[in-house]
Structure 1
Amino acid sequence: MIRAAYLVETPLDPRAVAEMMAGEQSSGTFVRVEGETEALRTRFGARVVSVEVIDERDRPSLHSAYLERKRVSGPWQRVAVEIDYPEENVGLNLPNLAATVAGNLFDLGEVTGLRLTGLTLRPEYRDRYLLPSLGVAGTRAALGVQERPLFGTILKPNIGLSPEETADLVERLCEAGVDFIKDDEIAGNHPHAPVRERISAVMARVRCWRQRSGRDVMVAFNISDEVDAMRGHADHVEAEGGTCVMASLNWCGLSAMQSLRASTPLAIHGHRNGFGAFARHPALGIDFSAYQVLYRLAGIDHLHVHGMGGKFADLTEEVAHAAKLSLQPLGHSDDRVMPVFSSGQWAGTLPTTLMETGSADFMFLAGGGILAHPDGAAAGVRSLREAWDAIQAGEALEAPGRPALAAALDFFGAR
C-alpha cells in the first residue's frame, strides 16, 4: 500500500469527507456508478486508515463556492487523515502516483483546506523506481571530500555574463578553493550566453584546473528546458568532462526528471525554486516531507532545502527537518540525496546548520557569502574553512587567528 497523510479542514463530518477523498482518488466518484462492484472496490478502492480531529476554528482558511451553495457554515474542524492506496492502482508511474495522492483533492468543495503532509512507501516499492547516480557517497567520492561539508557557491552576477566571462569567474572560483559551483536558477539558454557555449567555455577551464591542481570542482550547469533539449545538454556536459547538471524541478516536472535520470550518468542537482507556492500557506499544498519523496523517486542526487537564518521565510526547524529527510533512506539501497543549503548563507550561519542537522553530509552554498567577501572570493572560501576549523576545535567563531573569518563576521554580521 501507498500511505498518504493529510491535514484537512472541513465543516462537514470528518469521517465522511475522508471516505469521499479515498473514493475520489481510487475507484469511486460522487455517486455509485454501473460496474462499481464490491469486488472491484475491495481490490482497487483506497482505504481510510485514521481520522483524528485536531482543533476547531470559527472561520475557514479558504473559500468554497460548493459549501456556500449547500448553505453549510462552521465550525470548521482541522483533521489529520491517513489513507492507503493500492500500489496496483499506480504501478510504476510517478506522475500517476502524484495524481493519486494529490490530484483533485485540493479542489474538493467539501474542504476549506487540504495539505499533503506525508507519503510513505514500502521499501520494495521504492526500489522499483530510479536511484541517484551519485547521491551522497558518490558526490563525496567524485570530489575527494570526506568528513566535512562541501563548500560551494552560485555564479553571480546570475545573468548577463558572456560564456568567456562566466569561464573567467569559474576559473577564479576554482583557484579560490571551492568544491562546487552552480548556475543560478534563472541562468539558461540565453541569446547572449547560449548554454552549450557556456558549458564548453567553463569546462575548458575546469579541465585545466584538474590538470594543474590534481583536484576536481563540480559544476552544476542549469539545463532546465523541455526534455529532449535537457538530454542533449546533459550529453554535451558529459562530452566536455562535466559531472553535474541542474534542473528546476517544479517547472520541468516529475516525468521530465525521470527521463533525464534515465538518459545520463551525471549527478542531477535538484533546485526546488517555486516550492513556496506549494507549501507556504499552512492550509494548502504539499509538505516537503511528501514532496521530497516524489522527486527522489525521479532519481535526483542533490536537493535544495533553503538555508538557516537566510533570506527566505522558512523556520530553522523546517530547514533542518528537510535536510534530515533527504538523508533518510526510502528503500533498501542507498538512495539518500545530498541536502543543499543556500540563500543568504555565509560563514556565520555554518555553526547553526551543523548543530541543527547533526550531520556534515550537506552542501553549503554561499553566493554573496563568498563572492561579496570584502577581501575577495578566495577569502570568502577561507572564511568557510576557518569557520569549520573553529567548530571542530570547539572554539567561538570570534576566536583570534582566523583573519578571513574575522573579516566575514565584521562585514556580514553587521548586515
Structure 2
Amino acid sequence: MIRKLEDVNMSHAFPEVAFDEDYIIATYQARVKTGNVERLAMALADEQTTGTWIKVSHETADKKKKFGAKVVSIYEVPDTGNDVVEDLPPIYIIQVAFPIRNIGTSIPMMLSTVFGNISASGMVKWIDVAFPRKYVEKFQGPKFGVEGMREVLGVPDRPLLNAMIKPNIGWTPDEGAELFYEAACGGVDIIKDDELMPANEDFCPLEERVKKFMAMEKRAFEETGEHTLYAVNITDSIDKLKDNAKRAIDLGANCIMVNAYTAGQAALKMLADDPEINVPILAHSDYVGATVAGTYVGVNPALLMGKITRLCGGDFEINGHPWGKFPIPYKMFARSFRAFTQPWWNIKPMMYAVSGGTTQLIVKNAIDVCGTDIILAAGGAVHGHPEGSRAGAKSMRQAIDAAVKGIDLVQYAKEQAAEGHDELLKMAQMLNPDIKKNFDLME
C-alpha cells in the first residue's frame, strides 16, 4: 500500500506547528515499561480523541485529520542509548496536541479531553498544558486579581492578612460576627468562612450571617479606617451557586468563596464570568489533594491550582507552604506561586494565600520566596492568641511589618513590647518556648 508523507505524519507535528494550527499542547509524565514508546504516545492521543482500542468503521482519515490529536514530543529520562545499564523503566515525557475545535472554551471538555480516560491508565501524570494566545484570550480570568484586590482594600503594597472564622463550624451568626469584629479591628484584611461552613443551613443562615458580619465590617472601618473583605462561602449544589452569590452580594457581601474543586472549576468560571457578581472570588482548594498528591499519577499542582483555576477566574486561592501543618515541598510552593502570578497575556495574576499552619514565625519565609504580593492566611495564629482574636491579628500585622522592614522578628517584637504593644512577643513565646526562655534570661 502506498503511504504518502501526509498520511505517515498525520498524527505528528512540531510543537510550534501545532500551536499555529490551533492546538493546545498537554505534557505528561509516564513511567511504564514498553519497547515502543511511540506507540504508547499514539495510544494516549487516540484514546483522548477519535480512537479506541480497536479500529472502528467510521474512524476515517478525514475525521482523524480534523479531530485527532498529534504527538509533538517524546523525551526519555534518562535518554537511554546503547550503553544503558539500569533495569528500571525509564520515565517518558510525552507531549500531545489536541485540536481546540474539540473543546471550545468548555473547562469540563478541556479536562475530559486532556486527561479524562487516561487518568486511570496507570503511572501517567498530567504535568502541564500550553495554550496558544488565541485560546487564552477567549477567557476573562480574574476580575480583580492582585491589583484589583489591593485597590478594593486600599492597601497598595504590604502583604494582605486573611483569617478564617474558628472553630470551623458550629458557631452562631452572633458569635461569628463578634469574632469578625475583633479580628477586623486587629488588622485582618480578609475574613472568610471556613470551607466546611455550609452556605445556608438553619444553624447559621446566609442572610443573617452576611447582614451581621457586614454590620461589623462597617463598625470596624469606622474605628480603624481599614476595610475588611468578607469571603462568604456560597458553595452548594450547582443550581444554587449563582442565587447564593447574588443574594449574598445584595445583602452587602463584598467577597464570595467557592470550594472550587468540589463544586468544579467550571462553576468557578460561571461565577467569575457573571457581570452581576462584581466582587472578588476566593477559590478554595478544599479536596484538591485528591487529584494532585501523586508522584506518578494525578495532576501537577501548579497546573491545576495555578494555571487552570486562574484561567477560570479565581481572584485568590488558598494554598499550602513548606512550613505548615500540611507541609508541601518547597519546589511545589515556588512553582505554584509562579503559576498564580507570572505574566500571561490578558489574564491577571491571582493572589496566593499562604495557608495551613501559617504563623507569625513563618511570615518572613513566605515573603522571602514570594515577595510582598501575597496573602498570609492564618486561623489559629489569629484566634489562638492568649489575649484573643484582636491581639492575634495585631501580632500577625506586627510580624508582617517586621518582615517588610527587614527586622528580626524577635527584635521587632521586643521593640513593640517596649512601646506597649506586646501582642507579637506573647504569641511568639507561645509558639516557640525557646524564645520565651532566651527572653527571660536576657531580662
TM-score of the aligned structures, taking structure 2 as reference length = 0.84
- Alpha-carbon distance in structure 2 between the residues aligned to 1:7 and 1:393: 43
Residues 56-108 of structure 1 deviation map (CA, whole Å, 9 limit, x = unaligned): 9xxxxxxxxxxxxxxxxx95332111111111111121110111111001223
Residues 300-357 of structure 1 deviation map (CA, whole Å, 9 limit, x = unaligned): 2111221330000411331222122100233x22421111111111111111101122
- Alpha-carbon distance in structure 1 between the residues aligned to 2:212 and 2:400: 32
* 1:193 and 2:204 are equivalent in the alignment: yes
Question: What is the CA-CA distance between 1:207 and the residue it aligns to?
Answer: 2.7
Equivalent residue for 1:260, pick from 262, 271, 279: 271
Equivalent residue for 2:48, pick from 2, 21, 25: 25
Larger radius of gyration: 2
Summarize the Cα distance change of 1:133–1:2 in structure 2 as closer, same or farther, 3 Å threshold.
Answer: same
- Alpha-carbon distance in structure 1 between the residues aligned to 2:136 and 2:213: 37
The answer (yes or no) to whether the contact 1:261–1:300 under 8 Å persists in 2 is yes
The answer (yes or no) to whether the contact 2:190–2:230 under 8 Å persists in 1 is yes
* 1:234 and 2:245 are equivalent in the alignment: yes
Alignment partner, residue 77 of structure 2: 54
- Alpha-carbon distance in structure 1 between the residues aligned to 2:240 and 2:404: 44
The answer (yes or no) to whether the contact 1:131–1:297 under 8 Å persists in 2 is yes
* 1:6 and 2:25 are equivalent in the alignment: no
Equivalent residue for 1:126, pick from 129, 136, 142: 136
What is the aligned length?
393
* 1:391 and 2:403 are equivalent in the alignment: yes
Residues 26-62 of structure 1 deviation map (CA, whole Å, 9 limit, x = unaligned): 1222223223232322222111111122259xxxxxx
> Any residues of structure 2 matched to 1:88-103 within 5 Å, and which?
88-103=101-116
Equivalent residue for 1:363, pick from 372, 375, 386: 375
Q: Which runs of 5+ in 1 are unaligned?
A: 57-73
| Further displaced range: 145-154 or 404-413 | 404-413
Residues 343-375 of structure 1 deviation map (CA, whole Å, 9 limit, x = unaligned): 111111111101122x21111111111111223
Question: What is the CA-CA distance between 1:185 and the residue it aligns to?
Answer: 0.7
- Alpha-carbon distance in structure 1 between the residues aligned to 2:94 and 2:396: 44
* 1:312 and 2:326 are equivalent in the alignment: yes
TM-score of the aligned structures, taking structure 1 as reference length = 0.90
- Alpha-carbon distance in structure 2 between the residues aligned to 1:160 and 1:233: 20
Alignment partner, residue 388 of structure 2: 376
Question: What is the CA-CA distance between 1:208 and the residue it aligns to?
Answer: 3.1
- Alpha-carbon distance in structure 2 between the residues aligned to 1:240 and 1:215: 20
The answer (yes or no) to whether the contact 2:303–2:339 under 8 Å persists in 1 is no
RMSD: 1.9
| Further displaced range: 217-226 or 25-34 | 25-34
Question: What is the CA-CA distance between 1:212 and the residue it aligns to?
Answer: 4.5
Q: Which runs of 5+ in 2 are unaligned?
A: 1-22, 80-86, 418-422, 435-443
What letter corresponds to residue 195 of structure 2 in structure 1? E
The answer (yes or no) to whether the contact 1:6–1:118 under 8 Å persists in 2 is yes
Equivalent residue for 1:280, pick from 284, 293, 305: 293
Equivalent residue for 1:136, pick from 137, 142, 146: 146
Q: Percent identity?
A: 28
Alignment partner, residue 424 of structure 2: 405
The answer (yes or no) to whether the contact 2:311–2:347 under 8 Å persists in 1 is no
| Further displaced range: 372-381 or 2-11 | 372-381
What letter corresponds to residue 49 of structure 2 in structure 1? S
